[in-house]
Each structure stands twice: as C-alpha cells, then as structure tokens.
Structure 1
Amino acid sequence: MAQHFLLSAAARTLSLRSVYQGGEDKAYETFCRMRWAETEGKPICPRCGGVEAYAIKSRRKFECKACGHQFSVTSGTIFASRKMAFVDLLAAIVILANASKGVSMLQLSRDIDCQYKTAFVLAHKLREAIASEVKGETLSGTVEVDGAYFGGHVKPSNLKANRIDRRLAENQTGKRRVVVVARQRDGRTITTVTKSEADGVAFVETIVAPGSVLHADEAGHWNALHAKYKTFRINHQEAYSLNGACTNQAESFLARLRRMVMGQHHHVSGQYLHQFANEAAWKEDHRRLSNGEIATKKLALAMAHPVSREWKGYWQRAA
C-alpha cells in the first residue's frame, strides 16, 4: 500500500529547528528574497523604484541613492512597523503552516514567547494576506456549494422548568452566523459569512462563472440557482451521493472548519469568522504541498500585501 503524501518525508521540508539554527541573519535574508524576488533580495525603493541603495546596517534599513528615501524590508507590507525579530516572525509562519487545523493564539504566544495580543494580531494579519490570493477569482466547471452555522450558542437553563425552545428566533442571541462555501472540483475554495444560508445565493452568483455546473443540497433557497446554472440536488436524508449529485467536498471543508473552531480556537467571534474560514479554505487548497512550500507561500503573500487597515494599531484602537 502506497504511503500517504502527508506522512512521507517529502511533506516535511522545513522545521522550527532549522529556522532557529539559521538565526536572525538568515531569517532576514529570507524576508529580503521574498520581498524582492525579482532582484534576488537586493532592495528596491518603494517610493521611486530605484535599484541602488545604501545599507544602514545598524538599523537594517536602506537609503535610496536616487531619492534619499529610507525604508526597510517590511516597509509598506503587512509587517510594517513590526518589532518582533525576523527569526520569530519566520518561526510563527512555520508554526501556522504546520498546524493542519490551525493553532490557538495562546499556544502560539507560548511557542514564540510573546504576548497573546501580539500573536492574535500577527495571525490575523497572515490570514488577511493569504486570503488575498483568491481576491477577484471566479470558479468554473463543477462547483459544490453548501453552508454551516457557527456561534450563537444559547446555554440551557439549569432547571428543566425554566428551559426554553432554543430553536425559536425570539430565543436566539442573534450572533449566529453561517459560512457559505463554493468549492470547485480540482480548483479553489472560496467562502463568505452571512446571517443566513439563503444570503449565500447572491454570493454564489457573484463568484461562479455562467455555464458552470453546481451541486447543492435540497434547501429551498438554492432553487434560485437553477435559473442561471445547471444544478444537481442531493437529499441527504436519502443519500450522500445519488444520480451524480454530490456535495461531499463542500461538506468535507465545513467539517474541517468546524473541527478547527471547536478543537483549537474553542470560540470564534462572528466579527472575525470570515478570516478563519478563509484560512481553512487556503489550507484546504494547499494541503498537498510540503510544509516548506506552504510557509514560503505564506511569507511571499505577506510580503506582497500592503499595510493592513484593519489590523494596524488594532489594540490601540480596541483598548
């Protein structure tokens, strides 16, 4: 019997040990190569595009010979104004790449020895960066769509006489959200977060190209998709796959997302649920890559992403 790829040595091409053995200088060189790949790590001025710069080694900065602008390898990226050492940033990326179902911020803060707040913002910045990989993309061919509800749990009363029907709208918290997923077979996975699964119809029509074939369950709101797409429906009370209709890949993703939320994070605010869904989708799409390739992709996306308007100075605003 052939060994599964994820269990093989080929899936392990990067380790925390190698990151820390390389030290700060090697980690810094890695960031430079990711930022300025076209010049093999040589700095390019973000203001004028000049390729000649003086190195200010005492501060790991550069000064452009053409315009005099001073910049660093993280200037203008999602890591702008960072205070963490490059080796710790790289280690955090490796930890997040190795965690197949995510990692809690408490664990990450312990692993790289930083405050919980630092780990929280760092992880969300990386989630924002990797989500940019599918920005503007559309799905085509055969696409499976489905939705799953998260959060909004209503704790039952201790005494049976005081218990209410938690299924009724008037007895719910209003914090419940649904993750709607559209997953192209042999393609990408794109998600959104809405208040109800029915709101996902507009999302599907936006990101799935006309002429595609859709697979959905028997929920009534998906009936609207028949007007625009050839749509197969599956009744899960009868079967998981029948007459060519199947949403198993979409449901597989949602099951992994639920395990991520329940098993690692335990609680996810509806405000940030979309970022966790994006992270799970990205992991799902890259699950057959080695951990070294995954970490490299994450770092490259982060270095290509501009300063985050949502997470820059987050704790100063939220305090």
Structure 2
Amino acid sequence: MQHFLLSAAARTLSLKTVFKMGEDAAYEAFRMMRWPDGEATCPRCGCAETYSITTRKRFKCVGCHHQFSVTSGTIFASRKLSYTDLLAAIVIFVNGAKGVSALQVSRDLDVQYKTAFVLSHKLREAMALEAQGRVLDGVVEVDGAYFGGYVKPANIKSERADRRTRLAQSGKRQSVVVMRERKGDTLTFVGTREAEGVALVAKHVEAGTVVHADEASHWDALHARYETYRINHSEAYSLNGACTNQAESFFSRLRRAEVGTHHHIAGPYLSAYAGEMAWREDNRRVANGEQAGMVVRSAMVSPVSRKWAGYWQRGA
C-alpha cells in the first residue's frame, strides 16, 4: 500500500503554483481567508462599514477613519513581505514533514535569517491557537521525554562523567509531556519533570477516559481517575491491549526534527516546536494545500503576537 505522502492526493499546492498565481491572486487569497463573506471589518472598532483604497490595497473605516490592510491586527501585522512571498513561506513551512529550518526558508525566499526565524515562529504560534481549550476523551496515550541540557563529553575517557547523572547535565533539560487521543487531537506541554504530566492529564483529559501509559511510577496516580492500561517497554511495545505507540510516534517526529532539521530546539522555544510537531502529527494525512489553508486561516484570526512582534528590536 502506498504511503499517503507519496500519493498525488498529498500534493495539491506547489511553490510553482504560488509564484505563477501572482501578487493580486495571493492578495485575494488572504482577503478571502480573513473575511469569507467579502466584507472588510475594521480591526480597531469592529465597524463593518468600510471602503477600499484599491490603489494601495488598503481599507478605510467609515466610523473611526482608521486605515488598515488585510493583515492589520493579525499575527502578520506590519509585514514587509509581499503576499506572494508570504504564501510561499507558508507552503514551504507545511511541506516539511519534520519541520523546516529558518535557514532553509531564508535561502528559498532570499530574505534575512531574522525574517525567516520570526515568521516561522509566528506560524507556530498561530498553529498553537488551534489547541487552546481542547479536552481529550475516548482513548488517550500519555508519555514524556526529555530534551536539551546536553553537555559535550570530555576528550579524555577517564574525565568523562556518567551521562545518567546530573553531573553530565547543564540544568537546562526540560520534559515534553504528550497526551494523544487515538484518531483525535494531540496536546503537548513542557515542564521540568515528566511527573508534572499527572496534573496536566487530570486537567485536559475527561474523567472516565481510557488512558494508556508506560510503567513510570508517577503514572500510578492515573488509576484513581481513569481506566488505565500500562505497558512495560522492557518487555514489549504492545501487550494485552496496552501500548503508547502513537505517543512514541510523536516523539519520533520531534527527535528527528531536533537531530536532522533544527539541531537545537530546547530552551524557551521547545514548547513552540513541540506544538508544531503535534500539529503535523494530527494533520499528517491532510493534503499540503489544505494544510496551507489551515495555517493561513489560523494566522488571519490570530491577534498581533506579543512575543514575536518587534522581537529583534527588543533584543537590540
């Protein structure tokens, strides 16, 4: 059986198509994503009575006289890229099965690395908004894994510390906890210890849900609230109906993104990368054209980013 990513159904939008459609068509695509009914609404006062300044691709509000564009008040506010380049960046971003580095985006679009880095994180922020308020039920797999905190081993073998001890860690190691609903949604959280996932499961998984976890002792508390199945990975990956293979699938994608694409995803950005990989796992059998549309729609309803707007200026 052919893998979905190898089929023609997975390829419904290409960079060639984006660049051939031109600036006006790309602009119309963003406008229809933001205002599906075709009526522009003022982002400042919410007034629906506006008129178009066609020569500048801007609108003016009749109520407060505020001038705004298609991206004003969204996560793309104050953008400088053309609509064609912006749409092309989104297509490049969704086409990476295990993520796309900001360096590659900067080379493909001939923009500064700073531009590609901030734009990629804005897209991740928009994708993360889809998961807000989700509560899982049915059958849910939970697991945790550690990222970051790597310390390069000493050159001389006798001077190398046991990497299982804290002496071989930098103190920056973080835990990613994943809750994955079978044939449903995936939620991720970042903390200092995997045991913090017990409280997160209680908050984001409905009571009465069937939960699958491994043999780590902190998951013992789940039995009081859920019908819980445990799997000992030292004996088997799936046994007597218990397994966490879908949670492990998520971590496989995240590990490969860390090793092969981004090389370093720990620190304050780990949560964003984990959320991105959860989105990719949930939409892995969705055509790339539809994925691009989902990202654009999420970006068009997302407010101005408080974290990434003016990111490099604050750093200066």
Same fold (TM over 0.5): yes
Identify the match of residue 236 of structure 1 among 209, 233, 238.
233
The residue aligned with 1:197 is 194
Structure 1 CA distance for aligned equivalents of residues 259 and 127 of structure 2? 22
Amino acid at match of 1:19: V
| Structure 2 counterparts to residues 79-118 of structure 1, below 5 A | 79-118=76-115
Residue 54 of structure 1, CA deviation: 2.5
The residue aligned with 2:29 is 30
Amino acid at match of 1:51: A
Residue 47 of structure 1, CA deviation: 3.1
Structure 1 CA distance for aligned equivalents of residues 266 and 57 of structure 2? 38
Residue 195 of structure 1, CA deviation: 1.0
Cα-to-partner distance string for 1:268-298 (whole Å, 9 max, x where unaligned):
1321000000000001101111100000000
Structure 2 CA distance for aligned equivalents of residues 240 and 68 of structure 1? 63
Structure 2 CA distance for aligned equivalents of residues 96 and 150 of structure 1? 23
5+ residue gaps, structure 1: none
Cα-to-partner distance string for 1:82-119 (whole Å, 9 max, x where unaligned):
11111111000000111111011110100111100110
| Structure 2 counterparts to residues 1-319 of structure 1, below 5 A | 2-37=1-36, 39-40=37-38, 42-319=39-316
Structure 2 CA distance for aligned equivalents of residues 308 and 36 of structure 1? 20
5+ residue gaps, structure 2: none
- Identical-residue share of aligned pairs (%): 63
Whether the 8 Å contact between 2:74 and 2:299 is mirrored in structure 1 is yes
Whether the 8 Å contact between 2:174 and 2:266 is mirrored in structure 1 is no
Would you identify which runs of 4 or more consecutive aligned residues in structure 1 move more than 6 Å?
none
Cα-to-partner distance string for 1:144-182 (whole Å, 9 max, x where unaligned):
001111111111111122222232224420011111100
1:193 partner SS:
strand
Amino acid at match of 1:95: I
CA, structure 1 residues 269+235, in 2 after alignment: closer, same or farther (shift >3 Å)?
Answer: closer
Structure 2 CA distance for aligned equivalents of residues 166 and 241 of structure 1? 29
Structure 1 CA distance for aligned equivalents of residues 266 and 44 of structure 2? 38
1:28 partner SS:
helix
1:62 partner SS:
strand
Structure 2 CA distance for aligned equivalents of residues 60 and 145 of structure 1? 48
1:137 partner SS:
coil
Structure 2 CA distance for aligned equivalents of residues 261 and 36 of structure 1? 37
Residue 190 of structure 1, CA deviation: 0.3
Structure 2 CA distance for aligned equivalents of residues 195 and 35 of structure 1? 38
Amino acid at match of 2:137: S
Residue 257 of structure 1, CA deviation: 0.8
TM-score (norm 1): 0.96
Structure 2 CA distance for aligned equivalents of residues 144 and 233 of structure 1? 10
Cα-to-partner distance string for 1:219-266 (whole Å, 9 max, x where unaligned):
011111111111110001111111111101101111111001111001
Name the count of aligned residue pairs.
316
Whether the 8 Å contact between 2:147 and 2:266 is mirrored in structure 1 is no
CA, structure 1 residues 171+99, in 2 after alignment: closer, same or farther (shift >3 Å)?
Answer: closer
